[in-house]
């Protein structure tokens, strides 16, 4: 029984010592804790405020409104906040930290070479205004609208809503094509008109038929265009050029137009039958 009481007494004594240590530590470091909390809260508020102000400012300037610029400013704010608390709170000289980072800079640059390449690539793209949010680009078979340019990637959204994350270094070293909105929305259906038909009349009928069948898919203010391109043994070759509105896949518009034109008597759709008709005439 006395042994149990001794263990309990030692445990209570240790708890009291630990509590005294914690209280003493807080009493001696209260100002450090307050300084750290105040600086971190100030940095957080400043970061959010600057972010909002920069977004609104960039929207009214010629500078592209990309998150990479805002992120750089946020990093600068937090680095400054950390430098303010290193010496008074943690007793670490900022100069010593800067020297250590300088010595280890080579190792960091080798380990983070891809990240550095993406950051530099993003800045190169933005400052040279090669691309900016809202541009329509095509690169390596990927076509879509630039949504944002961040630290590492450029986010491109295609017409179906799929997001593709392309490394900035790839965009900076690969040939890309900037496409106008109408060009990105183009859908084409080829056809052949019988040689005996009046081309002007056929063009009007094709335009009317396609416009009626694709009116819910068509870009407003951009009616279909009918063009004739040459001749073949079966008649006159041509194509109808359509412009899909945002969110519509070009293949869906091609399908609707093809279904509408199928069976039109002035179009060649069965070359074997056409050859038989010509042989019968001769």
Distance CA 184, CA 5 (A): 84
- pLDDT at 21 (0 to 100): 61
Has this prediction a pTM greater than 0.75? no
Distance CA 236, CA 232 (A): 6
Q: Which two tokens stand for residue 64?
A: 């592209």
105 vs 47, higher pLDDT = 47
pLDDT of 7 above 50: no
Contact 124, 172 (CB under 8 A): yes
Closest to 43 in 3D by CA, of 104, 85, 90: 85
β-pairing, 225-232 vs 186-193, is: unpaired
Q: pLDDT tens digits, residue range 12-35?
A: 555 666 666 666 766 777 777 788
Q: Which two tokens stand for residue 117?
A: 């390449």
Domains assigned to the chain: 2-103 (no CATH), 129-179 (2.30.30.60), 182-281 (3.30.70)
- pLDDT at 224 (0 to 100): 92
- pLDDT at 11 (0 to 100): 54
274 vs 162, higher pLDDT = 162
- pLDDT at 192 (0 to 100): 92
Confidence of residue 254 (pLDDT cuts 50, 70, 90): very high
Q: pLDDT tens digits, residue range 178-209?
A: 887 767 778 899 999 998 899 999 999 999 99
Distance CA 267, CA 203 (A): 11
When the pLDDT of each residue in the chain is averaged and rounded to a whole number, the result is 78
For range 232-246, the mean pLDDT: 89
pLDDT of 45 above 80: yes
Closest to 64 in 3D by CA, of 123, 166, 132: 132
């Amino acid at each position: 029984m006395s042994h149990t009481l001794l263990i309990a007494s030692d445990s209570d004594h240790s708890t009291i010592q630990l509590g005294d240590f914690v209280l003493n530590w807080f009493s001696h470091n209260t100002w450090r804790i307050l300084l750290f909390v105040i600086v971190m809260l100030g940095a957080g508020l400043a970061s959010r405020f600057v972010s909002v102000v920069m977004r609104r400012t960039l929207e009214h300037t010629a500078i592209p409104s990309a998150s990479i610029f805002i992120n750089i400013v946020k990093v600068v704010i937090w680095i400054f906040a950390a430098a303010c608390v290193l010496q008074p709170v943690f007793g670490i000289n900022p100069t010593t930290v800067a020297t250590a980072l300088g010595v280890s800079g080579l190792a960091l640059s080798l380990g983070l070479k891809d990240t550095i390449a993406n950051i530099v690539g993003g800045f190169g793209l933005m400052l040279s205004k090669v691309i900016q949010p809202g541009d329509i680009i095509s690169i390596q078979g990927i076509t879509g609208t630039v949504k944002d340019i961040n630290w590492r990637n450029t986010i491109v959204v295609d017409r179906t809503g799929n997001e593709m994350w392309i490394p900035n270094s790839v965009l900076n070293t690969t040939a890309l094509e900037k496409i106008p909105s109408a060009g990105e929305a183009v859908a084409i259906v080829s056809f052949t008109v019988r040689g005996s038909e009046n081309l002007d009349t056929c063009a009007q009928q094709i335009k009317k038929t396609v416009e009626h069948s694709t009116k819910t898919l068509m870009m407003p203010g951009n009616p279909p265009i009918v063009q004739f391109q040459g001749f073949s043994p079966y008649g006159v070759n041509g194509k109808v050029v359509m412009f899909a509105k945002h969110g519509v896949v070009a293949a869906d518009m091609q399908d609707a137009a093809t279904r509408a034109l199928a069976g039109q008597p002035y179009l060649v759709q069965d070359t074997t039958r056409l050859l038989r008709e010509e042989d019968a005439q001769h």
